Every structure is written in structure tokens, then in C-alpha cells.
Amino acid sequence: MKRYLSQALFALLLLAAASPASAQQTIKITMSAGHPPAFLWVRVLEEFFAPEVDKRLAAAGNKYKIDWTKAWAGTLAKVGSESVAIKDGISDMGFVGTLFEGARFPLQNVTFYAPFGTNDVLLTSSIIAELQQKHPQMLEAWTKNNLVYLGGASLDSYQLFTTFPVKSLDDLKGRKVSAPGTAANWINGTGAVAVGGNLSTYFEDIKAGASEGALAFITGAWPAKLHEVAPYVTRVNIGAMYAGGIVMNKRKFDSLPPEVQKIFREVGAEFAVRFSKLEVDTAAALEKRMKDSGAKFYDLDAATRKKWAEALPDIGKIWAKDLQDKQKLPANAVLQDYMQLLRKANADLPRDWSK
């Protein structure tokens, strides 16, 4: 009898050792983006975010493992509809470009309504992070779309790519210049005609003659081969712009174990810092490659840059009043705080959009 009891106890111990309680749990997560990995924000998701989550999960005891599915280049979500795909659970997480989804994330677009701010990418991301904490309605824009915000990203300063040289505002009169979404406001008042588009359309639009140039940032212009059809690059320095953030479907996030949630939040916060440094370094390297490929760069002098800024309509105040009146959002306070934080950082401001 004792022998049988010993055998039974041994069998129970073996069963306990092999039980699911001690097994590694696999979590399936699908990441998506409207743009391909050639664009930096997608590349950093693929090359830093996912591997870093894996690394930290392993260091935390290897209790959980992520089975990643990566759907880039509009496979699951087209540019401008990324948040809907994640909200509806078609994708679990990914990068949402608030630039293309202004109706859903209006306050996040404050940088686009206050151009000529700063070329400092990390400063722009840090200011938006501070504004989102100060103004709850900004974070609510994510939560009401069933999204959990993990971290943001800003783009290197927008410049002007054209098929002709631009050294003064007179050179823009009657010319057609493509601009993404709200950035079309930066054309109004210059004498040029704004043409809608984005990095995925610029090359063909210019090649076909539908446009004669575009406003773009270096790290986006290079993979779009913009310099090949618009080789004259004017450094207008319209400023680094907040582009959007990494988000996760709220139901998916809530289903994760607390320790996994913590790691996703930590890596999301670090994404902004890593992305900013890589953005600056990459922009400098790509500018050199553009020059080596034949692109011609010009610096717009400070007086002309100021003249450009002053020629634009009062887009900041108009934007703020519209959101205040129609959606009861604190856009005026957000704009005031944004400009104040820029001044606090000693940014060179040719125009204060809050006045």
C-alpha cells in the first residue's frame, strides 16, 4: 500500500510540474500601420518597440510571450483610418497619425495650427505629452475611441520640395503645392495654391503635373522619393510637428496581465525618446544623401520666413474658436499653453498664434 501511495504522490508531483500554471503564456497581438516600414515611425515600431517588449518580458521571468503579427503598408488599415481599425479590433495596436484624423483627435493637431514653432523634435513631443496631462479632453479623445495611448512621436521640421527654386514668396505665386491635411493652411496667403495629398501620393502627383511641389519632412520625403521629382529643397523650417501615437485597442489592453500592461506603457514612453533621436540623426543623414543624388538645398532667410508666417491667415485663433464654439473643447487654452511652453523653451517664434 505504501508503495502505491508513493507512486501516486510521485505522479501528482510530475503532473503539477507540467501543469499550465507553470507554462509560458502566449499572447497574440497584431500591429498595423497605414505606411510601410520605409517610414521611420513604422520602422521603430518593428525594430524597437516589439523587440523591446519581448526583451523586457523575458527579463521579467519569461512568463509571457508575444506572438506578433505585423500588418504594414495599409494591409489592415489605410492612411487616415488606422484608429478605426484598432478601435474595431481589426488590429490590436499600431501607429495612429492624428494629422490625418483631425476630426477624431482635434486638440492633438495644435502644432499644425501654430506653425513656425520649433525644429526640436523631442521638445515638440514633450510639450504635447505635457498638454495631454494638463487637459483631460486630449486624452479622452483616445479613450472615447476605445484606444489606450502608449506614446507619441513628432516629425522633423517641414520643408518645401519643388520643381523650381524658391528664394522668396514671389516665387510661389500661382504655383501648385501639395500639403497634407491641415498643413494646407501653411500655403494660404503665400500666393501658391494648396493641393491635397500625402507622402503616398506626392511622387505621382508631381510627376503627372497635378502639383509642382510639396511640404514635407526629410525622413518622410526620402522614402517617398520626393527629391527625385522635386529636387529644389527650401529650408523654410516650418517646425517639428506632432504626428500621432502608438495606441492599443482598449479591450485588448484590459485583457493583458498587469505586468504586461506595465511593460507596454514603459516601452511606449521610451518610444518617443528613441524615435526623436533617431528622427534627428536620420534626417541629417538623408539630407546628405539627397544632396549626393542631385537635390539642391536653399535656406530661407529669417526675414522671408517671418514674412511667410505673417502672411498666413490667423489659423491658430480660427481653429481654437471653431473647436470652442462647436465642440466645447478647450482649444484656446491648449493653444495658449502650447505657445507659452515654446517661449519657455526659448524657441525662435516669428509669430505668436495665441495673440
Which residue is listed with cell 525662435?
Answer: 348
pLDDT digits 0-9 by tens, 45-58? 999 999 999 999 99
What pLDDT was estimated at residue 67? 98
Residues 256 and 107 grouped into a single domain: yes
pLDDT digits 0-9 by tens, 228-251? 999 999 999 999 999 999 999 999
Residues 188 and 261 grouped into a single domain: no
Does 96 reside within a domain?
yes
Residues 167 and 298 grouped into a single domain: yes
Geometric angle at alpha carbon 139, from 138 and 144, rounded to 5°: 105
Residues 113 and 261 grouped into a single domain: yes
Residues 167 and 90 grouped into a single domain: no
- C-alpha 42/C-alpha 102 separation (Å) is 20
Task: Report the number of distinct structural domains present in the chain.
Answer: 2
Per-residue tens of pLDDT for the chain, all 355 residues: 545 445 544 444 444 444 444 589 999 999 999 988 988 889 999 999 999 999 999 999 999 999 999 999 999 998 889 999 999 999 999 999 998 898 999 999 999 999 999 999 999 999 999 999 999 999 999 999 999 999 999 999 999 999 999 999 999 999 999 998 788 999 999 999 999 998 889 999 999 999 999 999 999 899 899 999 999 999 999 999 999 999 999 999 999 999 999 999 999 999 989 999 999 999 999 999 999 999 999 999 999 999 999 999 999 999 999 999 999 999 999 999 999 999 999 999 999 999 8
**CA torsion, points 224, 227, 230, 234, in degrees to nearest 10?**
120
Residues 118 and 71 grouped into a single domain: yes
Does 4 reside within a domain?
no
Domain with 195, as residue range(s), is 158-240+286-316
Contact between 205 and 195 (Cβ < 8 Å): yes
Mean pLDDT, the chain, rounded, equals 92
- Which among 65, 63, 56 is positioned nearest to 28, based on CA atoms? 65
Does 121 reside within a domain?
yes
What pLDDT was estimated at residue 99? 83
Contacts 24+ apart (CB under 8 A), 326-335: 327/106, 329/106, 329/107, 329/137, 330/107, 330/135, 330/137, 331/106, 331/107, 331/110, 333/135, 334/107, 334/110, 334/131, 334/135, 334/138, 335/110, 335/113, 335/114
What pLDDT was estimated at residue 182? 81
Does 305 reside within a domain?
yes
Identity at 117, one-letter amino acid code: G
Residue 326 CA, chain-centre distance (Å), reads 26
Q: Give the E-state strand segments of 42-187 in sequence order.
A: 64-71, 93-97, 147-155, 158-162, 176-179
Residues 143 and 256 grouped into a single domain: yes
Q: How far apart are the first and last CA of the chain?
A: 92
What pLDDT was estimated at residue 281? 95
Does 336 reside within a domain?
no
What pLDDT was estimated at residue 22? 54
Residues 233 and 252 grouped into a single domain: no
Residues 54 and 175 grouped into a single domain: no
H or E element at residue 180: none
